[in-house]
Amino acid sequence: DTAVSQTPKYLVTQMGNDKSIKCEQNLGHDTMYWYKQDSKKFLKIMFSYNNKELIINETVPNRFSPKSPDKAHLNLHINSLELGDSAVYFCASSPRVDSPLHFGNGTRLTVT
Amino acid sequence: EDQVTQSPEALRLQEGESSSLNCSYTVSGLRGLFWYRQDPGKGPEFLFTLYSAGEEKEKERLKATLTKKESFLHITAPKPEDSATYLCAVEQGGSEKLVFGKGTKLTVNP
């Protein structure tokens, strides 16, 4: 019944590794997002896809690469992880770009 | 320069003690202002959208209002289960993205 689900919930890894976070939504929404919440709880948009097309790409290092195989999935791949990448990453979806967001419960990434 | 500023950063209330949270914004051409609630270890949960000055929305003990410069989230007779971080976000016309404030952490003691 979970509307927006992310896996894994926790991810602990070492610097330099490559990791992926998966997101799936079963709400039939056209738009999906990745947000980053830092240690100060500040939530900032990273990427947005509408119908599998990238529409927002904030100033994010190109080590971060989103991939949307279909409307219901948006994955985030991170290369060469750095200490500063440690944060909680939230996936979200919405029916349209100006509609309220439905968030997943986040993936806490810790880079050691 | 912060486009969305929330105050206070933290607020502690006794059960039944009404208060207000503030969200001030500097974006021009506001398309919408959103309020979310976030519980520890969870994603933000949508509460309200306000589109124009003078608009008000209510849900249980919460009431959101909007002016041309700020929004208030009024909490009437809060209960401990209202404890959470309340986030405000604005969407500027043409930007297609939400800009969030840093949130107000509300604690309601029984």
Q: Is the pLDDT confidence value at A100 over 80?
A: yes
Per-residue confidence (pLDDT) for residue B42, from 0 to 100: 94
pLDDT (tens digit, 9 = 90+) per residue, A14-46? 999 999 999 999 999 999 999 999 988 789 999
| Domain boundaries B4-109, CATH class | mainly beta
Per-residue confidence (pLDDT) for residue B1, from 0 to 100: 56
Per-residue confidence (pLDDT) for residue B31, from 0 to 100: 87
How many angstroms from the chain centroid is the CA of residue B82?
A: 13
Please state which of the four CATH numbers 3.40.50.1580, 2.60.40.10, 3.40.50.2300, 3.20.20.70 is assigned to the domain occupying A15-111: 2.60.40.10
Q: What token pair was written down for A5?
A: 């689900």
- The two beta strands, A31-37 and B19-25, are unpaired
Residues of chain B with pLDDT under 70: 1-2
- Chain B residues within 8 A of A55 when measuring between CB atoms: 96
Give the residue extent of every domain in chain A.
Answer: 15-111
Rounded (10°) CA dihedral B58, B56, B29, A71 = 30
Per-residue confidence (pLDDT) for residue B2, from 0 to 100: 62
Per-residue confidence (pLDDT) for residue B29, from 0 to 100: 81
Instruction: Count interface pairs A-B at CB distance under 8 A.
Output: 48
Residue of B3, B96, B102, B106 for testing the chain A interface, max A β-carbons within 10 Å: B96
- Chain A residues within 8 A of B88 when measuring between CB atoms: none
Give the residue extent of every domain in chain B.
Answer: 4-109
pLDDT (tens digit, 9 = 90+) per residue, A44-90? 999 999 888 888 888 789 999 999 999 999 999 999 999 999 999 99
Q: What token pair was written down for A103?
A: 């968030």
Per-residue confidence (pLDDT) for residue A34, from 0 to 100: 96
- The answer to whether residue A43 neighbours chain B at the CB level (below 8 Å) is yes
